């Protein structure tokens, strides 16, 4: 149905837009007549709620607002957050009280738990005179607040007092709860270091969209980012490299006289502060210590943990080439970046690290990596061959399996659950090990059928370091992932055992991400898509409706000064040859309703230039195609400069 026609169909008086026969959590069967209210411009909630009924009228925010809430420590997090967010932009005076009679906004903990809502669900009621939020827990009330804030005008995102805004909220009734429990974003702070305040900034943004796990990738070849008492070289040496700018993986090896002063680390007090900040936003922090591969920062600090002679000459990687990926994964190491599974000192080291990590991080899991560990140095190490003989190990996969089992025992001895990337499944995986499935959906399905807990984070849908548009417009990496593809993510894929699927996660690797602004650019809007995929019922997902909401949230991000990628507006280029060998250029867009204008004469097209309507041929001597997209009279896309030589190369590849 045309969404503009749907809008016209809404009736002014109170009309239920969803069936009142709600499914229980996990049951995603919805009536065929279910209608999505998010086609209304003033209601653009991400992620989409389970059930919503819109009424006529609005709640108008007064200058003095009384909030009623129970006095619990976690409730104070919620009320403080609500007070700060509303008062900053609106200037209204917010006070709290236990007096229900005078309250305009009520935050109510259910005396008897509503099984339908679970631990994170909520009910939100907005009438012309009052806003009431109900939940079984403070977590649910926090998510109710996030939904309420999205119902306010976009100016609610302002960091300063917003003037000349009518602070009104549409009257609605919402019942909502998540599809899965684990709703995560991974932030790689190892490849490039991000400050404590930048991590908090990332937490602020993700918590608005009901994410509840921040996975911090704390260690890699490029840096060790966590203070470990008793192991000072990890941060004195391992946290620093040579600053390089350009294409990661292609940098020239640093010279001996180049200063190693680029990087940083978090003190244990920093981590405690980040954890507390996240807790106040109902976000758990998952720490990752990536071993046995990706460990050059450890080897540079403590070379005795390597299998390889000469490791004392190794340095923390600065982005130079250290792996040969020509034969796929696992790579061939040019420098041995692995800890030695045959060295008892490695397990003593890891015991010291994991002891402190377990004490610092309250979350029940510790992620120990396990991905992309090269084996070519192990194959020629006498100590490894002796280990294989002693333990009856037949191949290098079993050598890593031996390592993973020993690390798992250390993690579990500290009262934590062990998690790793899906490579840990390549040998017999110990019971109790949890899998983060990244290489494919099938790896997660397989793990769930073997009764391992699984978090789905497949590259095909959830890798936020991938390019979002054509390679000519994006930081070049090895693959692309457009917004519409991310929106297809299903954290509980067909064939999986849903009992063991904990949830889903998107991952931001930062080899090519040098600062927090670029981190935001790479995360949003694709993290909108993942948020809706892991929270909303599968049957409620609708790409045209979702993108209409995304455009409303772009406006909110503009006001919040949070960066995002406009790549979804960029044209998609396809090329072919005509019968007479002419270059044929096929342009399309990821979203409907856009017009494409183009030029071949090196000038900059606008809407008065030729509009694309069908395949075009490049003039014989043209060297450059410029394109831009418009929505009506407004440019929305970026001016893209496509060399004709590049298009000819692409035809050749086909």
Distance (Å, rounded) from C-alpha 164 to C-alpha 244? 46
Q: Are 370 and 424 in contact (CB under 8 A)?
A: yes
Closest of 629, 637, 650 to residue 573, by C-alpha: 650
Mean pLDDT value of segment 234-251: 94
Strand partners, 240: 263
What pLDDT band is residue 250 in, cutting at 50, 70 and 90? confident
pLDDT at 1 over 50: no
Q: Please, what is the average pLDDT of the chain?
A: 92
Q: Are 413 and 432 in contact (CB under 8 A)?
A: no
pLDDT at 30 over 70: no
Mean pLDDT value of segment 90-101: 85
Range from 10-24, 105-119, 154-168, 611-625 carrying the lowest mean pLDDT: 10-24
Q: Are 197 and 517 in contact (CB under 8 A)?
A: no
Distance (Å, rounded) from C-alpha 435 to C-alpha 453? 6
CA atoms within 13 A on the CB side of 654: 10
What pLDDT band is residue 7 in, cutting at 50, 70 and 90? very low
Predicted local distance difference test score (pLDDT) of residue 40: 55
Calculate the CA dihedral of residues 533, 136, 16, 554 and round it to 10 degrees.
-40
Q: Are 135 and 144 in contact (CB under 8 A)?
A: yes
Contacts of residue 649, defined as CB under 8 A and 6 or more positions apart, other chains included, come to none
pLDDT at 38 over 70: no
DSSP labels, 448-500: HHTT--EEE--HHHHBTTSBSS-TTTS---S-B--HHHHTT--SS-TTS-GGG
**Where does 267-343 have alpha helices with state H?**
268-279, 296-301
Q: What are the pLDDT digits (tens) for 586-623? A: 999 999 999 999 999 999 999 999 999 999 999 999 99
Distance (Å, rounded) from C-alpha 404 to C-alpha 337? 16
Calculate the CA dihedral of residues 424, 428, 433, 434 and round it to 10 degrees.
50
Predicted local distance difference test score (pLDDT) of residue 13: 34
The DSSP output letter for 261 is -
Per the model's pLDDT, the better-predicted residue between 463 and 22 turns out to be: 463
CATH of domain 182-536: 3.20.20.80
Predicted local distance difference test score (pLDDT) of residue 25: 38
Active site residues: 220, 294, 372
Distance (Å, rounded) from C-alpha 490 to C-alpha 365? 23
User: What is the sign, positive or negative, of the torsion defined by CA atoms of 544, 549, 555, 559?
Assistant: negative
Q: Are 73 and 562 in contact (CB under 8 A)?
A: no
Give the strand pairing for 332-333 and 323-324: antiparallel
User: What is the sign, positive or negative, of the torsion defined by CA atoms of 60, 61, 66, 72?
Assistant: positive
Containing H/E element for 207? helix 196-207
Containing H/E element for 630? strand 624-631
CATH class of 570-653: mainly beta
| SS3 at position 503 | strand
Strand partners, 391: none
Q: What are the pLDDT digits (tens) for 306-352? A: 999 999 999 999 999 999 988 877 889 999 999 999 999 999 999 99
Say if pTM beats, i.e. exceeds, 0.85. Answer: yes
- Torsions phi, psi for 126 (to 5 deg): -120, 120
Report the first-to-last Cα separation within the chain, whole angstroms: 37
Q: What are the pLDDT digits (tens) for 259-294? A: 999 999 999 999 999 999 999 999 999 999 999 999
The CA-atom distances, in angstroms, between 164 and each of 44, 82, 161, 559 are 22, 21, 10, 15
Q: What are the pLDDT digits (tens) for 441-460? A: 999 999 999 999 999 999 99
Domain with CATH 3.20.20.80 in the chain: 182-536
| SS3 at position 312 | helix
What distance lies between CA 274 and its chain's CA centroid? 18
Mean pLDDT value of segment 232-248: 95
Domain with CATH 3.30.379.10 in the chain: 3-176
The CA-atom distances, in angstroms, between 559 and each of 25, 90, 553, 564 are 35, 14, 10, 12
CA atoms within 13 A on the CB side of 469: 23
Contacts of residue 434, defined as CB under 8 A and 6 or more positions apart, other chains included, come to 365, 417, 418, 419, 420, 452, 453, 454, 455, 502
Domain with CATH 2.60.40 in the chain: 570-653
The DSSP output letter for 618 is -
The proportion of the chain whose per-residue pLDDT surpasses 90, expressed as a percent, equals 88
What pLDDT band is residue 21 in, cutting at 50, 70 and 90? very low
Architecture of domain 3-176: 2-Layer Sandwich (3.30)
Q: Are 506 and 22 in contact (CB under 8 A)?
A: no
Q: What are the pLDDT digits (tens) for 458-514? A: 999 999 999 999 999 998 898 999 999 999 999 999 999 999 999 999 999 999 999
Range from 95-104, 109-118, 423-432 carrying the lowest mean pLDDT: 95-104
Q: Secondary structure of the chain: what % helix, strand, coil (to 5)?
A: 35, 20, 45
Distance (Å, rounded) from C-alpha 608 to C-alpha 599? 11
Calculate the CA dihedral of residues 347, 352, 355, 360 and round it to 10 degrees.
-130
Q: Are 479 and 466 in contact (CB under 8 A)?
A: yes
Predicted local distance difference test score (pLDDT) of residue 34: 38
Predicted local distance difference test score (pLDDT) of residue 41: 65
What pLDDT band is residue 23 in, cutting at 50, 70 and 90? very low
Distance (Å, rounded) from C-alpha 482 to C-alpha 363? 32
């Amino acid at each position: 149905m045309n969404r503009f026609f749907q809008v016209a169909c809404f009736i002014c008086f109170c009309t239920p837009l969803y069936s009142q026969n709600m499914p229980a959590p996990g049951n995603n069967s919805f009536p065929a007549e279910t209608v999505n209210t998010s086609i209304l411009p003033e209601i653009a909630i991400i992620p989409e709620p389970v059930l919503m009924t819109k009424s006529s009228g609005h709640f108008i925010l007064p200058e003095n607002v009384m909030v009623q809430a129970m006095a619990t420590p976690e409730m104070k997090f919620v009320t403080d957050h609500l007070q700060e967010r509303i008062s900053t932009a609106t200037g209204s005076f917010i006070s709290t009280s236990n007096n229900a009679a005078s309250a305009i906004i009520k935050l109510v903990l259910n005396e008897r738990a509503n099984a339908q809502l679970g631990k994170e669900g909520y009910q939100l009621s907005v009438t012309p005179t009052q806003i009431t939020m109900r939940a079984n827990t403070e977590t649910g009330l926090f998510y109710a607040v996030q939904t309420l804030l999205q119902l306010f005008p976009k100016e609610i995102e302002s960091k300063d007092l917003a003037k000349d805004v009518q602070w009104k909220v549409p009257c609605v009734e919402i019942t909502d709860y998540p599809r899965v429990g684990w709703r995560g974003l991974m932030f790689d702070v190892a490849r490039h270091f991000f400050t404590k305040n930048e991590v908090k900034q990332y937490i602020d943004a993700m918590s608005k969209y009901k994410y509840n796990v921040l996975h911090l990738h704390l260690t890699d070849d490029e840096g060790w980012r966590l203070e470990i008492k008793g192991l000072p070289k990890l941060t004195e040496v391992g946290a620093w490299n040579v600053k390089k700018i350009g294409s990661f993986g292609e940098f020239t090896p640093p010279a001996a006289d180049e200063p190693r002063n680029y990087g940083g680390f978090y003190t244990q007090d920093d981590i405690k502060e980040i954890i507390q900040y996240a807790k106040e936003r109902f976000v758990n922090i998952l720490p990752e210590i990536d071993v046995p591969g990706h460990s050059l920062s450890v080897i540079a600090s403590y070379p005795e943990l390597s299998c390889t002679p000469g490791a004392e000459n190794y340095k923390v990687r600065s982005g130079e080439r250290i792996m040969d990926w020509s034969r796929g994964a696992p790579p061939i190491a040019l420098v041995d970046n692995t800890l030695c599974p045959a060295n008892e000192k490695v397990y003593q080291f890891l015991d010291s690290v994991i002891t402190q990590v377990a004490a610092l991080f309250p979350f029940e899991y510790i992620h120990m990596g396990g991905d992309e560990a090269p084996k070519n140095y192990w194959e020629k190490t006498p100590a490894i061959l002796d280990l294989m003989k002693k333990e009856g190990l037949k191949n290098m996969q079993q050598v890593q399996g031996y390592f993973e089992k020993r690390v798992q025992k250390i993690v579990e001895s500290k009262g934590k659950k062990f998690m790793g990337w899906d490579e840990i499944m390549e040998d017999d995986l110990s019971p109790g090990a949890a899998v983060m499935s990244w290489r494919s959906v099938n790896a997660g399905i397989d793990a769930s059928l073997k009764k391992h807990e699984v978090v789905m984070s497949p590259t095909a849908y959830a890798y936020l370091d991938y390019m979002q548009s054509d390679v000519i417009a994006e930081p070049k990496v090895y693959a692309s992932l457009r917004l519409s593809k991310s929106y297809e993510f299903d954290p509980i894929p067909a064939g999986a055992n849903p009992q063991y699927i904990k949830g889903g996660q998107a991952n931001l690797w930062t080899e090519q991400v040098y600062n927090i602004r670029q981190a935001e650019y790479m995360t949003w809007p694709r993290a909108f898509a993942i948020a809706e995929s892991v929270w909303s019922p599968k049957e409620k997902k609708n790409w045209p409706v979702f993108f209409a909401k995304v455009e409303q949230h772009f406006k909110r991000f503009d006001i919040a000064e949070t960066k995002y990628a406009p790549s979804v507006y960029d044209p998609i280029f396809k090329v072919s040859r005509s019968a007479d060998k002419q270059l044929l250029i096929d342009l399309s867009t990821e979203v409907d309703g856009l017009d494409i204008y183009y030029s071949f004469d090196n000038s900059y097209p606008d809407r008065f230039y030729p509009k694309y309507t069908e395949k075009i041929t490049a003039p014989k001597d043209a060297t450059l195609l410029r394109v831009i997209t418009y929505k009506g009279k407004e440019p929305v896309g970026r001016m893209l400069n496509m060399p004709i030589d590049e298009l000819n190369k692409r035809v050749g590849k086909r």
